[in-house]
Amino acid sequence: MSHPRPEHARALTRRALLGSGGLGLGSLALQTLLGDSASAQGTTHTGPHFAPRAKRIIYLHMAGSPSQLDLFDPKPALAAHDREPVPEDLIQGERFAFIKGVPKLLASPYGFAKHGESGQELSELLPHLAGVADDIAIVRSMHTTQFNHAPGQLFLNTGFERVGRPSMGSWLSYGLGSENQDLPAFVVMLSGAYGPSGGHSLWNSGFLPTVHQGVRFQSQGDPVLFLSNPEGMQPGSRRRVLDALRSLNEARLLELGDPEIQTRIAQYELAYRMQTSVPELVEIEKEPQEVRELYGAQAGSASFANNCLLARRLVERGVRFVQLYHWGWDSHGTSPSDDIVTSLPQRCEETDRACAALLKDLKRLGLLEDTLVVWGGEFGRTPMNEERNGSTYLGRDHHPHAFTMWLAGGGVRPGITLGATDELGYSVTEDPVSVHDLHATLLHLLGLDHERLTYRSQGRDFRLTDVYGKVAQKLLA
């Protein structure tokens, strides 16, 4: 289709605004600014290409990349050959982030068992996920092209290993807009000691209009930047300031006729509404105690569990794409703080209960049907022990050739395991799913054809999936 030019877009918006008369100014302005569904803004596509199976996504990104071999993909062969040198032909010509020489195979210290009616195999580190095993689809055949964190995370989030492309959330905001007038379409929350290595670029809008970038909700201070009035300024004062601003700006609008002033007035009103709606949204103490306990959420703390509960509250209110990052899965085994014996179980403890709770809670509320939940890291981990500088702690290096993700809800076939890896877990042997395939599938579930969701920049049409990607049909319900 012909790509709408910014000038046309602006003209359309202005027409919409000017034609609005006394109708809700705020909601109209929002069409431009928060990417409302099917608006005349021009920066948005006309909604889904076909009937969607899911309306929204909660994406749980495990930054640092969890070990699939200790959580999802049991390998008896590794146990049989524990600490034996890896067959050399397997690693011929391979580049690793840290491994040097010929590494040794490493058995998982954890037991696996089958769960639920579906018999999904899960590690003992994930007892809560085991309880919802029938609800999730496990993909053991993920693979990527990147083996360093920042490029890996960028690739996973934007379809390109370097900066500059829009993230999936931005594409969805651009393609579908938000269902809520008072909240952004794309919200990001972080937990753990650090943010993801890819930084702000992971939720950047790239060449898409900046209104589509992810808005970070923070667990410390204001949930949205600068939401609180300065100390000493009472809500009454804020209201009076906005009233004065509105009169003064309206006078100017009458004098100059610049519709941008009208948009500005609307934005100030929306900001004021957000000052009320957002704090209410993040007050998890409003949730019944049993719900908080289900997640393991505690008001006032900055945790993955809290963020999961908030994610549910956000999608309930129509936010299109909620992305959670949890740091600390980079299990190299250089010390107990990054090994698979001490650190990996800690990460599981921090996340397992909340992940399962999120699925149960969404299901209870009837939201799981049209909410897609995705869990995974940016790549996998090696079947070999890393032993960096002769470290005696057990750990695994970065591994792009095979890793595991799981999906649940919104149009995903529950209770299945898709794909397989070889007996050592080194390479994918069945139903490979590339990062582009994952993107194509997510868009498909949201009713978008990944080949048609395009944006013209630098003289060509860009897609989230570049020139690749095919929908993983076997994943679909």
Q: How far is the CB of 278 from other proteins (least distance, A)?
A: 10
Q: Count Cβ neighbours within 10 Å for each residue of 150-175 and write b for 16 or more, e otherwise.
A: bbbbbbbbbbbbebebbbbbbbbbbb
CB of 134 or CB of 222, closer to other proteins:
222
CB of 312 or CB of 381, closer to other proteins:
381
By the 8 A CB rule, do 194 and 228 touch?
no
The SS3 assignment for 287 reads: coil
CB of 2 or CB of 92, closer to other proteins:
2
To the nearest 10°, the Cα dihedral for 133, 139, 145, 149? 0
Q: How far is the CB of 300 from other proteins (least distance, A)?
A: 16
| Beta strand pairing call for 136-143 and 186-191 | unpaired
CB of 148 or CB of 429, closer to other proteins:
148
Q: How far is the CB of 425 from other proteins (least distance, A)?
A: 20
Q: How far is the CB of 144 from other proteins (least distance, A)?
A: 15
User: In the structure encoding, which two tokens stand for residue 364, read together?
Assistant: 């209870």
10 Å CB burial of residue 374 (0-12, 13-18, 19+) is buried
Compute the distance between CA of residue 188 and CA of residue 314 in angstroms, rounded to an integer: 11
By the 8 A CB rule, do 199 and 446 touch?
no
The DSSP result for 152-179, as a single string, is HHHHHHHSSSSTTSPPHHHHHHHHH-BS
CB of 16 or CB of 373, closer to other proteins:
16
Q: How far is the CB of 188 from other proteins (least distance, A)?
A: 11
Q: How far is the CB of 9 from other proteins (least distance, A)?
A: 10
Q: How far is the CB of 276 from other proteins (least distance, A)?
A: 13
CB of 228 or CB of 473, closer to other proteins:
228
CB of 15 or CB of 83, closer to other proteins:
15
410: nearest Cα among 137, 98, 4, 124: 137
CB of 371 or CB of 465, closer to other proteins:
465
Categorise residue 411: left if φ over 0, alpha if ψ from -120 to 50, beta otherwise. Answer: left
The SS3 assignment for 215 reads: strand
CB of 290 or CB of 460, closer to other proteins:
460
CB of 131 or CB of 169, closer to other proteins:
169
Q: How far is the CB of 267 from other proteins (least distance, A)?
A: 5
User: In the structure encoding, which two tokens stand for residue 463, read together?
Assistant: 């897609």
By the 8 A CB rule, do 394 and 404 touch?
no
Compute the distance between CA of residue 62 and CA of residue 405 in angstroms, rounded to an integer: 10
104: nearest Cα among 128, 123, 88, 120: 88
By the 8 A CB rule, do 402 and 141 touch?
yes
Q: How far is the CB of 369 from other proteins (least distance, A)?
A: 31
Q: Which one-letter amino acid corresponds to residue 343?
A: S
User: In the structure encoding, which two tokens stand for residue 127, read together?
Assistant: 């007892």
Q: How far is the CB of 221 from other proteins (least distance, A)?
A: 6
